[in-house]
Structure 1
Amino acid sequence: MPSPAKIAIIVAGGSGSRMGSTTPKQFLELNGKPVLHYTIRAFMEAYEDMHIVLVVPPAHRGSIGAVLAAFGRPPSVTIAEGGETRFHSVKNGLQFVKQDAVVFVHDGVRPLVSPALIRTCYEQALLKGSAIPAIPLKDSIREVDTVGNNAADRTRFRIIQTPQTFLSGLLIPAFDQPYDPLFTDEATVVERSGHAVHLVEGEEQNIKITRPQDLVIASAFLNDSLR
């Protein structure tokens, strides 16, 4: 029986508002290349037969050419149009999944994801239907309500990362549901459709670039990996 296709839906629809920049953060320079370059490269290095669906707003389609031009071997890429919310953007990307596949949904501004984590997610999705990277909390946390606040047991919680990875037979039907503002990621959508989601160990360096200091941290991680 042939292996399912490998398709990465990379959501690159963010703006530069929190970065204090007019350039969307996925196109900002990180050690001489756009942030999005490193994100795509990780998936290409994980599997040679990976197909990438880039979800970008129409206004930013013209920037994709420069990102892809930095590759010696052009990756297999399809461009999908970004939607009003993450839910709608991912749903647009899923329109290009035409066969049985393991589908990775990844933030375009998580450029430090490792090929090893991508491979782990693939293998676990084949076994369990889904694989959601997660890391423990390090800081103390408190639960806040209208009355006050209370200490919470941080060992009961996890920080969720991407790529959130699923068999297409689970993910695509889940996105037939009506949109709900509580759908903050793909795991919540699949869970709402009646399926349990399975966590795998994430990576501390798999950070999301949202503020200027994140670029400094990402640069340090990249420099350290070259030593």
Structure 2
Amino acid sequence: MSGGRFGLIIVAAGSSSRMQGIDKVWAPLGGRSVLSHSVANLGPFCDEVVVVVRADQVERTVSVFGSEPNLRVVTGGNDRRASVSAGLHALGDVEFIAVHDCARPLATPSLLQSGREALHRWAAAIPVIPVSDTVKRVDPDGQVAETIPRDSLRLVQTPQLFRAPALRQAHDWASGLGEPVTDDASLLEAQGMIVGTILGDVRNVKITTPLDLQVARFLVETGA
């Protein structure tokens, strides 16, 4: 990609707690692991790649990807924010940063390209898809409190793209909060920075459960 240097952080330090004993990072998908798909699909389009994994997976990850040019493996933290921060510290001098969840192995380079172009306008750009289901808010007793108009609702995907100074500033600010962070863009929002959106991809599924893994395998095997 043209312009300033581009860094990619692949977050693969989760516990796979809902995978019924399957480590989704290394789960087979179309002849290679879930993590290998993310590295192969997005890595070649970035100047630097940092893969963030659990401490007990560093050696294995290095053995698999150690020969990849411009790729570094680091140990993640106790939560997602800490893991992304570890990735930020490992990155060199880059102008743009993409943060991607390993659990989305079917992300395409076109999302990087669209997001990169959007960064000329915004501090961050995130891929989103429209909500097709009816959405309701329920109270603690399980009763419907309201039906939420879905016209302006979107589901957020990764890779999320950022101007590097904005993302680093947001993580520095959040380091003392002690609150869980599931979405890096929300840190910029909390500081009043503008986060834009680009069109996501319905094939860019997130693997959270064994059923999600089966869906991803179907998409890979059929090319759907």
Query: What aligned pairs does 1:150-169 form with structure 2 within 5 A after superposition?
Result: 150-169=146-165
Alignment equivalent of 1:173, drawn from 166, 169, 176: 169
Matched AA of 1:131: A
Q: Deviations over 1:28-77 (max 9, x none)?
A: 111221100001111134x2x531101111111122145427xxx72421
**Equivalent pair of 1:44/1:75 in contact (CA under 8 Å):** no
Displacement of 1:145 after TM fit? 2.4
Q: Partner of 1:126: helix, strand, or coil?
A: coil
- SS at 1:103's partner residue? strand
CA distance, structure 2, for counterparts of residue 122 and residue 106 of structure 1: 14
Partner of 2:38: 39
The normalised TM-score by structure 2 is 0.90
Structure 1 residue 86 corresponds to structure 2 residue 80:
yes
Deviation, 1:7, is 0.5
* Identical counterparts, % of pairs: 31
What is the distance in 1 between the residues matched to 2:11 and 2:56? 15
Partners of 1:218 and 1:118 in 2: how far apart?
Answer: 20
Distance, in Å, in 2 between the alignment partners of 1:11 and 1:60 is: 13
One-letter amino acid of the structure 1 residue matched with residue 59 of structure 2: G
How far residue 170 of structure 1 moved from its aligned partner, in angstroms, is: 0.6
Match of 1:159, SS state, is strand
Unpaired runs of 5+ residues, structure 2, are none
- Indicate the larger mover: 74-83 or 195-204: 74-83
1:191 CA displacement: 1.1
TM, length-normalised to structure 1: 0.89
- Which of 102, 109, 123 aligns to 2:103? It is 109
1:156 Cα deviation after fit: 2.1
The number of residues matched between the two structures is 219
Aligned counterpart in structure 2 of residue 135 of structure 1, from 120, 123, 129: 129
Is the Cα contact below 8 Å between 2:126 and 2:185 reproduced in 1? yes
Contact 2:122–2:194 under 8 Å retained in 1: no
- Greater CA drift, 51-60 or 118-127: 118-127
Query: Which residue of 181, 184, 191 maps to 2:182?
Result: 184
Q: List, as ranges, runs of 4+ consecutive aligned residues in structure 1 with deviation greater than 4 Å.
A: none
CA distance in 2, matches of 1:99, 1:126: 19
Deviation at 1:99, TM superposition (A): 1.7
Structure 2 CA distance for aligned equivalents of residues 75 and 221 of structure 1: 29
Query: Cα distance, 1:6 vs. partner?
Result: 0.8
Distance 1:52 1:100, change over 3 A: closer
Structure 1 unaligned spans of 5+ = none
Letter in 2 for 1:8: L
- Cα distance in 1 for partners of 2:167, 2:210 equals 33
